[in-house]
Amino acid sequence: MTLKQTRLVTNDVAKLTRFYESVSQAKAEILSSGYVQFHNEPCDGLAIVEQASTEAYGAGVAEAGANRSVILDFEVTDIDAEYERLQGIVSDWVMAPKLMPWGARAIVFRDPDGNLVNIYAHP
C-alpha cells in the first residue's frame, strides 16, 4: 500500500489553490473548477477538491473547514526567510518562529479553511 495523495475539502477551490501556490511556490494542475492537484515539489501529492464532489462517497461524509486533526508539514532550509516571505500571504498565525523541543525551528499557521500548516527547518 502506498499513500498517494492528501485532499483538502473546501467550499472555495480557487481561493485555497491560490493560497497553497503562494505558500509553496508550486503550480497546481487544474483538472476542473472543483479539483486541482499538485504534482511537483514541494506539494507533490496534495489535492484540493470542492465539498460538493465528496457527496459521491455519501451525504455529509466530508465537511469543509472543519479539520482539527491533521497538520500539513513542509521542510525548508531557512525558517526565518520563509516567515518573512509569508507575512503578506498568511493571515492566521498560530506560532512565530520557535525552537521546538525536538531541535527544529518551526512556524505554524492556518490556511484560509483553518487547516494547520507547519513549516520547519533543522538548524
The per-residue pLDDT for range 35-57, each reduced to its tens digit, is: 999 988 888 899 999 999 898 88
The SS3 assignment for 43 reads coil
How far from chain centre, in Å, is Cα 92? 13
With 0-12 CB in 10 A as exposed, 13-18 as middle and 19+ as buried, what is 48? buried
- Position 41 scores a pLDDT of 84
C-alpha cell at 51: 465539498
H helices of 34-98, in order, are 79-85
More confident residue, 123 or 46: 46
Q: How far is CA 110 from CA 3, 4, 67, 70, 91, in A?
A: 24, 23, 11, 11, 8
The SS3 assignment for 27 reads coil
pTM of this structure: 0.91
Mean model confidence pLDDT for the chain? 93
How far from chain centre, in Å, is Cα 99? 22
Rg (CA), the chain: 15
- Position 2 scores a pLDDT of 73
Mean pLDDT score, 13-23: 97
Asked if residue 9 has pLDDT above 90, the reply is: yes
- Beta-bridged to residue 73, according to DSSP, are 118
pLDDT band at 123 (very low <50, low <70, confident <90, very high): confident
43/89 Cα distance (integer angstroms): 17
